[in-house]
């Protein structure tokens, strides 16, 4: 049997104004992070509906991270505060369902923090990889 190296699948939701720009900056500065991280652009971190996260886990994502502007810096004044509260609730529920806390994360990355973006992704991918594959919420009906 051929043993392939385990690669986690990580979905990153990035707000358009801070974190997506921060991810671009990481690129501009050629700061490497694992290719396992796939970024989805949203206008604001508060656009991330919990159902998106549930869907990602159902379809076999191993980790989901949401990046937004720092508290107080939200382009839409208060969007990231909603994110913070919603995700705190969702993550504790996911924890209860067996999705470990390390698989979910909210991080504030500003447009100037390319280095922080890359470091966060490296660290997060490492933690998720250590946990192994997400089997708990995986729904075979979702996975064709």
Count, residues near other proteins per rule CB under 8 A: 43
φ/ψ of residue 4, rounded to 5 = -95, 150
E strand residue ranges, 5-143: 10-15, 37-42, 63-68, 104-108
- Residue 132 within binding range of other proteins, rule CB under 8 A: no
Closest separation in Å from C-beta 142 to other proteins: 8
Stretch that binds other proteins, among 39-47, 94-102, 124-132 (CB under 8 A): 39-47
Work out which of 8, 19, 39, 129 binds other proteins, going by CB under 8 A.
39
Query: How far apart, in Å, do the first and last CA atoms of the chain sit?
Result: 24
Cα–Cα nearest to 8, from 46, 51, 60? 60
- Residue 59 within binding range of other proteins, rule CB under 8 A: yes
- Residue 42 within binding range of other proteins, rule CB under 8 A: yes
18, 109 Cβ separation under 8 angstroms? yes
Write the DSSP symbol of residue 4.
P
Work out which of 8, 18, 19, 61 binds other proteins, going by CB under 8 A.
61
Closest separation in Å from C-beta 58 to other proteins: 8
Cα(4)–Cα(67) distance, rounded to whole angstroms?
30
Cα(7)–Cα(44) distance, rounded to whole angstroms?
28
**Residues contributing to the site for other proteins (CB under 8 A):** 9, 11, 20-21, 23-24, 26-28, 30-33, 35, 38-44, 46-52, 55-56, 59-61, 73, 75-79, 82, 86, 118, 144
């Amino acid at each position: 049997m051929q043993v392939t190296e385990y690669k986690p699948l990580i979905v990153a939701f990035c707000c358009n104004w801070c974190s997506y720009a921060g991810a671009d900056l990481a690129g501009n500065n050629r700061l490497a992070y694992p290719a396992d991280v796939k970024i989805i652009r949203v206008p604001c971190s508060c656009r991330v509906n919990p159902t998106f996260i549930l869907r990602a886990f159902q379809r076999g994502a191993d980790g989901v991270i949401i990046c937004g502007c720092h508290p107080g810096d939200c382009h839409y004044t208060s969007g990231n505060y909603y994110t913070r509260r919603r995700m705190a609730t969702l993550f504790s529920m996911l924890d209860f369902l067996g999705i470990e806390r390390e698989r979910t994360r909210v991080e504030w990355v500003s447009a100037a923090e390319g280095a922080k973006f890359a470091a966060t992704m490296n660290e997060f991918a490492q933690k998720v990889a250590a946990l192994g594959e997400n089997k708990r919420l995986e729904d075979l009906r979702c996975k064709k």
